[in-house]
Amino acid sequence: MRLHNYWRSSCSWRVRIALNLKGLAFEYVPVHLVKDGGAQHTDAYRALNPMRTVPTLEFTHEGRVHFLSQSLAILEYLEERYPSPALLPADPLLRAHVRMLSEVMNSGIQPLHNLSVAQRVKAELKGDDKAWNAYWIERGLTALQALAEQTAGRYCVGDEVSFADVCLIPQLYAARRFGVDLSPYGLLTRVEAACAGLPAFLAAHADRQPDAVPA
């Protein structure tokens, strides 16, 4: 498998964690989102991913090469194809809770601070992109924590790592990057601390990727 991705992209990071948790080796293919206008906008990359986002997972199945994008779709695919260790609980209601929490981040927060959106806020609307990003992250984390209070154990849903934790870690990194005060989110930062020491999470961290740029 090859993962076309970028060190600091939340959605890339989610998939790196999941691949690591499932013990799946992958080749890291960096896609620089900023340099020279962004490698995601080249014709070569658009052929793999018309949405021009990262990540894209490239893999061979029954002799054919496939390109799969959209991080949650990739996580679901990995879960079905490589079910152990499971990143979704067995119980249908708990599975629903994991997906609800994941989607709060995947559709409710991250798209609004996505690079292409922040760029448009700044360039077209002459807005403060950092303040824009922080607004949506704070609003989303407040809801996320209220929902997680219903289900959290050691992790977001019970005592097993799930998609929700996989989404949470990059989301909190982005929150700090855009200046969000995380002190009201004690439950979320407690879960983050529980994940931080796990080898799969450590190896997937943005700052440890080959294309990472030191602060």
Give the binding site for its own copies (CB under 8 A): 50-53, 61, 66, 68-74, 76-77, 80-81, 92-93, 95-96, 99-100, 102-104, 106-108, 110-112, 117, 120-121, 124-127, 132, 135, 140, 142-144, 146-147
CB of 127 to its own copies, least distance (A): 4
For the bound state, the minimum distance from the C-beta of residue 215 to its own copies, rounded and expressed in Å, comes to 28
Pick between residue 66 and residue 154 the one whose CB is nearest to its own copies.
66
Half-sphere exposure of 131 (CA within 13 A, CB side): 4
In terms of CB distance, is 51 or 196 closer to its own copies? 51
Q: State the Cα–Cα distance between residues 192 and 126, nearest whole angstrom.
A: 34
**Cα–Cα distance, 193 to 154 (Å, whole number):** 10
In whole angstroms, the minimum distance from the beta carbon of 191 to its own copies comes to: 17
Smallest distance from its own copies to CB 146, Å:
4
The three-class DSSP label of residue 109 is coil
- The DSSP annotation for 1-41 comes to -EEEE-TT-HHHHHHHHHHHHTT---EEEE--SSGGG-GGG
Q: What is the distance in angstroms between the CA of the first residue and the CA of the last residue of the chain?
A: 30
* Closer of 150 and 179 to its own copies (Cβ): 150
Pairing of strands 27-30, 2-5: parallel
Comparing CB distances to its own copies, the nearer of 92 and 210 is 92
What are the distances in angstroms from CA 178 to CA 2, 90, 118? 30, 36, 11
Shortest distance, position 31 Cβ to its own copies, whole Å: 16
Q: Is the CB of 90 or the CB of 215 nearer to its own copies?
A: 90
Nearer Cβ to its own copies (140/170): 140
SS3 148: helix
Token pair of 136, please?
């949506």
Q: How far is the CB of 204 from its own copies (least distance, A)?
A: 20
